[in-house]
Amino acid sequence: MNIEKLGNFTLDDAPKYEDILQCMRCGFCLPTCPTFALTGRERSSPRGRVALARAVAEGKLEFNQAMKEEAFFCLDCRACTTACPSGVQAGSLMEICRAQASQQQPLPKWQAGFRDFILKKMLPNPDLLETSMLPARLYQKLGIQWLVRHSKLLKLGPKWIDKAEGMMPELHQPLRQQLPEFSPAKGEKRGTVAFFLGCVMTLMYAEVSRQTVRVLNHQGFDVITPKTQKCCGAPHLTEGDPETARQLASHNLDLFLDLDVDAIVTDCAGCGAALKEYEEMLAKREDHQRLQIFHSKIKDISEFLIEVGIRTEGLKPVNKIVTYHEPCHLCHAQGISKQPRDIIKSIPGVEFREMKEANWCCGSAATFSLKFTEASQKILDRKLDNVKNTKAEVLVTSNPGCHLQLDWGLREADMAQPVLHLSELLGEATPD
Amino acid sequence: MVAKNILNRLCLKLGKENVISEKEDLLVLGYDATPGLHHAPDIVVYPTSTEAVQAAMQIAREEKLPITPRGSGSGLSGGSIPAHGGMVLCLNRMDKILEIDAENLTVTAEAGVITLNLANAVAEKGLYYPPDPASQKISTIGGNVMEDAGGLRCLKYGVTGDYVMALKCVLPDGSIITTGGKSVKDVAGYSFKDLLISSEGTLAIITEVTMRLIPPPQAKQTMLAYFDNIETAGKAVSEIIAAKIIPSTMEIMDKTTINCVEDYVKIGLPRETAALLLIEVDGHPAVVAEESDGVQRVLKEVNATEIHIAANDEEALELATARRMALSAMARVSPSTLMEDATVPRSYMAQTFAEIQRLAAKYDLTVGTFGHAGDGNLHPTVLCDERDADQMKRAHAFFDDLYTKVLEWGGTVSGEHGIGMAKKDYLARQIGSGGVEVMKRIKKAFDPDGILNPGKIFADD
């Protein structure tokens, strides 16, 4: 094991020098980076960020405020990973730099306390998380939301509070408590899958994941949804807390490997990407073979349905014009681009229209949309323009982060298209 | 870092948002795509008009700051690295396409327009801008002119310089001049614009370009051929040209490159194959059919081991995969890649390959070679690790020996990347001390104080 410190990085959760050197500075990443497009500033580009990290690694730069800023200003959309000829992972590198930031540039005490409360207390504990949503549901149920929105009360406070409130979808009972641990296949049975139910899905998009399970059943799969599953760890990685992420990963790994299933399916692109990264995250702690088996079983819903072959007989026509926004964590992080489109096109009645820059980030990017409201808005506007130009009636995507952002953006821009998760569209076509 | 008063003057003239002086910004504006080279500037400006370029240059001149122009920093010879510090003048924010003139077949654009954006914009009007350097997605048109960038289509369509009609530029003394125009013929005085092409930002800073356009080819045919030795591939290239066929693309890859690509993408390339040629003919459908037959006939005559013909655009793209992946594949297997652009008269290509193989063995290096076979422009690429000092030394010795041979055969030390900082030592070997002296006199006439992009082209600069 490497015990020598790399330049001005601390020992724990430091990047590998080889990974940094891999960048040959060709600049092919530049036209794909939303933050570079926004600022035109080299340091806010993947090439620039890797160069900053290299300077830190070579002791030419302290791990300073600028390095921290760039680590968090990176959307972690991974578009640069897709574009990079030499396989540099600038997004992952910035995740590591966020972990470094939490060691080297700690937050003020109250902020750190709040961050730790969310990351270490709430997210790892599904029961706490669900209870915490009760006030929000009451807020909607009792009509307070209506009052707040119509009085424009929140316009007085910081922008992010207004936006956060505005993004909140109509909340239902968290799905985890309601979904049976076993839902049987319909028609000719084709296999058994486990369902990884993401935190945001169960809390904010319960109805979407309900459709995912329904679709899987209808496609001939028994679905097991273990109630003791926990957060995938993605929020922890993006906020610079890899240790909690590893603990959650270990828990989920043990839980799901105990099940005798053909695949572990998720309908959240962010979770899928994180689950597929367990292999690297836990490389030092877990048996390599177990990690490989786990990795090979993780499937996004679209990836899975295309692999097993989607059964289209009996599907009801959905007579709509549909366009598709690619979640970064699906197309760039997992390389899944064609499958969702193939599924949309396989639904009878659907007219599919490709939008320009479908794989360009929507500006959601975990907490980016709240931390950098202005930058996020500009990235979103670019996306909404592209949506508008397709004249599609429905905007489909398959990640809750994008879903929240796009839904909010379309409403604010007075655009009529609803945002649907791929599972919802397919659910509409799926007979009872 | 520069003195406060210089910073203030620049901010006043150019706008605060167009001047950058923070340490972290300077750190990441001191490189381009050339391995191993870095020198941070003291200040960086982003002028948004020719007049702003002029203003920035005036301040630099008065404050004795060297000026280095920069586009996207995708160059491969260190042309945009501020070798002596000073001011980096980024032209990225001058990115407007000003006019597409369908009657005169020209496009006029600011220097910072991305090459591919320019090509796409004229394509929308049914016109064609052929030069396609590998970095076209990010390179700027101004940078392309300054380095006279090439690409895959040069054999038939020529290089960037062949498309320059007019240039607007600011000279080191602050004067703004326009040279050339939209007239097809123009012999008024010295061909000044031709002097600026490939001058690597040492004579003037280009702010606007007018490029020639042509009607696009109506059809194309893509072919892929494998060979069991490199000489046969070389022979195929010569024979195709001898058959009076000029393909739009004729790209070659050697065995090492093929195996790197196969390791990386696993598309079933035959690992034992010594070389492959990717050939494309384009033009009127009747001509394409005839030339395609001609190429296939030659390939059979020289005994290519396999020939694949693309049935449609999708298949054409598939056939081109290996070539498109060449650099990526090599970049992924090694931490560093030293890519050169030795160029020889076409007839010496097979010898060049043999020499590369001999020298790779002599210096114990892994070298993958691919490139533009039709142009005799090869990219021998050493797979190395810049942390291994001994290996780097051997790599440089390898290129040193190779260039000796290349020059013996009447070739050039740079086909399309430029001299910059990377090849200064080779220039005199190619053009002799007399040639260097004339170039220096030209440089002096434009830039007597030597403030424009110092440390480039000339070994003692």
Q: Which of B278, B287, B282, B346 is nearest to B306 (CA)?
A: B278
Q: Over its length of 461 residues, how does chain B's per-residue pLDDT go in tens digits?
A: 888 999 999 999 999 999 999 999 999 999 999 988 999 999 999 999 999 999 999 999 999 999 999 999 999 999 999 999 999 999 999 999 999 999 999 999 999 999 999 999 999 999 999 999 989 999 999 999 999 999 889 999 999 999 999 999 999 999 999 999 999 999 999 999 999 999 999 999 999 999 999 999 999 999 999 999 998 999 999 999 999 999 999 999 999 999 988 888 888 889 999 999 999 999 999 999 999 999 999 999 999 999 999 999 888 888 888 888 888 888 888 888 899 898 999 889 889 999 999 999 999 999 999 999 999 999 999 999 988 999 999 999 999 999 999 999 999 999 999 999 999 999 999 999 999 999 999 999 999 999 999 999 999 87
**Domains A175-307 and A315-429 belong to one CATH topology:** no
Rounded CA-CA distance B91/B68 in Å is 11
Instruction: Check residue A1 and give its pLDDT.
Output: 46
Instruction: Check residue A141 and give its pLDDT.
Output: 76
Rounded CA-CA distance A396/A341 in Å is 10
Give B427's strand partners. Answer: none
Whole-complex ipTM: 0.94
Instruction: Quote the strand ranges of B385-426, DSSP E.
Output: none
Give start and end residues of each alpha helix (H) in A28-187.
34-39, 46-57, 65-73, 79-83, 90-104, 109-116, 126-132, 134-141, 144-151, 159-167, 175-178
Pick from B23, B138, B332: CB nearest A27 = B138
Backbone angles phi, psi at A198, to 5 degrees: -70, 160
Q: Which residue of A has its CA nearest to B330?
A: A86
Instruction: Check residue A256 and give its pLDDT.
Output: 97
Going edge to edge, which strands form the sheet with B67-70?
B19-20, B43-45, B87-90, B67-70
Task: Tell me which H or E stretch contains B26.
Answer: helix B23-27
Q: Does A28 touch chain B (CB under 8 A)?
A: yes
Mutate to test the interface with B, among A25, A50, A52, A60 (most CBs of B within 10 A): A25
Q: Does A85 touch chain B (CB under 8 A)?
A: yes
Rounded CA-CA distance A100/A67 in Å is 10
Pick from A24, A47, A60: CB nearest B331 = A24
Domains of chain A, by residue range, sit at: 17-104, 137-170, 175-307, 315-429
| Span B4-90 CATH architecture | 2-Layer Sandwich (3.30)
Q: Does B335 touch chain A (CB under 8 A)?
A: yes
Set of chain B residues whose Cβ sits within 8 Å of the Cβ of A51:
27-28, 31
Contact between A51 and B27 using a beta-carbon 8 Å cutoff = yes
Q: Which residue of B has its CA nearest to A83?
A: B328
Mutate to test the interface with A, among B16, B23, B91, B138 (most CBs of A within 10 A): B138
Q: Does B260 touch chain A (CB under 8 A)?
A: no
CATH level 3 topology of A17-104:
Fumarate Reductase Iron-sulfur Protein; Chain B, domain 2 (1.10.1060)
pLDDT digits (tens, 9 = 90+) for A358-415: 999 999 998 898 889 999 999 999 999 999 999 999 999 999 999 999 999 999 999 9
- B377 contacts B343 by C-beta, under 8 angstroms: yes
Burial class (CB in 10 A: 0-12, 13-18, 19+), B359: buried
Q: Does A51 touch chain B (CB under 8 A)?
A: yes
Residue-wise burial string across B153-181, b where 16 or more C-beta atoms lie within 10 A, e elsewhere: bbbbbebbbebbbbbbbbbbeeeeeebbe
Contacts 24+ apart (CB under 8 A), B353-359: B353/B230, B353/B231, B353/B234, B353/B254, B353/B275, B353/B378, B354/B230, B354/B231, B355/B402, B355/B405, B356/B380, B356/B402, B359/B398, B359/B401, B359/B402
What distance in Å separates residue B369's CA from the closest CA in chain A? 17
What distance in Å separates residue A19's CA from the closest CA in chain B? 8
CB atoms within 10 A of CB A337: 17
Q: Which residue of A has its CA nearest to B95?
A: A40
Contact between B114 and A31 using a beta-carbon 8 Å cutoff = yes
Burial class (CB in 10 A: 0-12, 13-18, 19+), B25: buried
Domains of chain B, by residue range, sit at: 4-90, 97-212, 217-321
What distance in Å separates residue A50's CA from the closest CA in chain B? 9
Q: Does B137 touch chain A (CB under 8 A)?
A: yes
Q: Does A335 touch chain B (CB under 8 A)?
A: no
Contact between A42 and B29 using a beta-carbon 8 Å cutoff = yes
Contact between A42 and B73 using a beta-carbon 8 Å cutoff = yes
What is the assigned CATH class of domain A175-307? mainly alpha
What distance in Å separates residue A86's CA from the closest CA in chain B? 5
- B96 contacts B103 by C-beta, under 8 angstroms: no
CATH 3.90.330.10 fits B217-321, yes or no: no
Q: Does B31 touch chain A (CB under 8 A)?
A: yes
Set of chain B residues whose Cβ sits within 8 Å of the Cβ of A22:
331-332, 335
Q: Which residue of A has its CA nearest to B134?
A: A28
Contact between B138 and A60 using a beta-carbon 8 Å cutoff = no
Contact between B327 and A85 using a beta-carbon 8 Å cutoff = yes
Contact between B328 and A31 using a beta-carbon 8 Å cutoff = no
Pick from A28, A66, A85: CB nearest B138 = A28
The CATH classification number of A315-429 equals 3.40.50
What distance in Å separates residue B330's CA from the closest CA in chain A? 8
Mention every residue, 6+ apart, whose C-beta is less than 8 A from residue A33.
Answer: A44, A45, A46, A79, A80
Q: In chain A, which residues have pLDDT < 50?
A: 1
Contact between A24 and B29 using a beta-carbon 8 Å cutoff = no
| Span B97-212 CATH architecture | 2-Layer Sandwich (3.30)
Instruction: Check residue A150 and give its pLDDT.
Output: 74
Q: Does A43 touch chain B (CB under 8 A)?
A: yes
